[in-house]
Amino acid sequence: KPAGVPQASPRKVNSVGVVGAGLMASQLALVFAQQLRVPVVISDLDQQRVDKGLAYIAEQNSKQVRKGRLTQEQADALTGLVTGSTEKAAYAEADFVIEAVFEEISVKKQVFAELEDIVSSETILATNTSSLSVTEMAADLKHPERVIGFHFFNPVQVMPLVEIARTARTADEPIATAFELAASLRKTPVLTKDTTAFVVNRLLLRLMAEVQKAFDLGTEARTADQALKPLGLPMTPFELLSMVGLPVAQHVTESLQTSFGDRFYVSKNLQSLIDHGVTEIWSTDESGAQHIKDSTLELME
């Protein structure tokens, strides 16, 4: 076990809840079902969002059939493991619940408070937050000792790292369980303190801050991406922003600016694109080729 991981016996996770049905939540539910083969419940504010999440999961499993890695029956069985609800009561049986709802502390606190009335006192409550305090999320709960950060990276199916964040109040068992769970998901877990943005986003978003400053000073997104390609990053900064989604990325940066001030930078140009309804700068066509979106180009000119 990596240094700092407690020796406590992990609990078995037979049922998982994912709160939310957006892109991150749907990817999480998919990976939990694929790797653990246990029932997974997703939920959102309305049925339309839930259905969108379920459709994403079904489509990703169908992709594996098209790639010849699953039979149709296996794909259907995996898709069938994930059910959707608009009620938190659906999490009653879950051993492990991870929230991936809007990145706003009051929303996340509310989710945990509602869950605590429904789940058992030993159910682990995890957050996929990128930039908020796990300690604060657990502060008003009856059982803060079962709250952890469990932070995945987009796309969850492919990115190997999971940051497991421990607060001063987290007990040993949830951390031991989280490490076991990450291994079952075939991820590489690292233990971090509950510090804003943990480890990876502190570094990644500093790079992104400088790129966005250059963008506001007049460097085109295309030019910045071309210039940075030789650095060997798996994705250029604006490709990454497009994948995460501009509004989500902007919101995370704002959160970091609240904690760290000038070390992070909220781009005015990006905000103006978001205000015009732009969610991505690059789009991918059927063949996998990337194109700068015409609508974005017009707005940037």
Does position 155 interact with ligand 3HC (CB under 6 A)? The reply is yes
Give min distance, CB of 80 to ligand 3HC, in A: 21
Contact criterion met (CB below 8 Å) for 148 and 154: no
By beta-carbon proximity to ligand 3HC, the closer residue of 130 and 296 is 130
Q: Which has the closest alpha carbon to 131: 157, 104, 161?
A: 104
Does position 16 interact with ligand 3HC (CB under 6 A)? The reply is no
CA atoms in the 13 A half-sphere facing the CB of 12: 3
Give min distance, CB of 239 to ligand 3HC, in A: 7
Contact criterion met (CB below 8 Å) for 244 and 234: no
From the candidates 151, 251, 276, 291, give the one annotated as an active-site residue: 151
By beta-carbon proximity to ligand 3HC, the closer residue of 89 and 158 is 158
Does position 31 interact with ligand 3HC (CB under 6 A)? The reply is no
Q: Which of 62, 86, 154, 184 binds ligand 3HC (CB under 6 A)?
A: 154
Q: Which of 65, 141, 207, 235 binds ligand 3HC (CB under 6 A)?
A: 235
Instruction: In whole angstroms, give the CA distance from residue 17 to residue 68.
Output: 29
By beta-carbon proximity to ligand 3HC, the closer residue of 87 and 104 is 104
By beta-carbon proximity to ligand 3HC, the closer residue of 119 and 178 is 178
Instruction: In whole angstroms, give the CA distance from residue 20 to residue 301.
Output: 36
By beta-carbon proximity to ligand 3HC, the closer residue of 65 and 92 is 65
Peptide bond into 155 cis (omega under 30): yes
Does position 153 interact with ligand 3HC (CB under 6 A)? The reply is yes
Q: Is 43 helix (H, G, I), strand (E, B) or coil?
A: strand
Q: Which of 244, 246, 273, 292 binds ligand 3HC (CB under 6 A)?
A: 244
Q: Which of 240, 256, 273, 292 binds ligand 3HC (CB under 6 A)?
A: 240
Q: Is 143 a catalytic residue?
A: no
Residue 140 CB neighbour total at 10 angstroms: 11
Instruction: In whole angstroms, give the CA distance from residue 299 to residue 278.
Output: 9
Give min distance, CB of 249 to ligand 3HC, in A: 7
Q: Is 87 helix (H, G, I), strand (E, B) or coil?
A: coil
Does position 130 interact with ligand 3HC (CB under 6 A)? The reply is yes
Residue 288 CB neighbour total at 10 angstroms: 6
Residue at shortest CB range from ligand 3HC: 130
Give min distance, CB of 19 to ligand 3HC, in A: 16
**Alpha-carbon Rg of the chain, whole angstroms?**
20
Instruction: In whole angstroms, give the CA distance from residue 35 to residue 249.
Output: 28
Contact criterion met (CB below 8 Å) for 164 and 191: yes
What's at 46, amino acid-wise? D
Does position 242 interact with ligand 3HC (CB under 6 A)? The reply is no
Can you give the binding site for ligand 3HC, defined by CB under 6 A?
130, 153-155, 157-159, 201, 204, 234-235, 240, 243-244, 252
Q: Which residues are catalytic?
A: 151
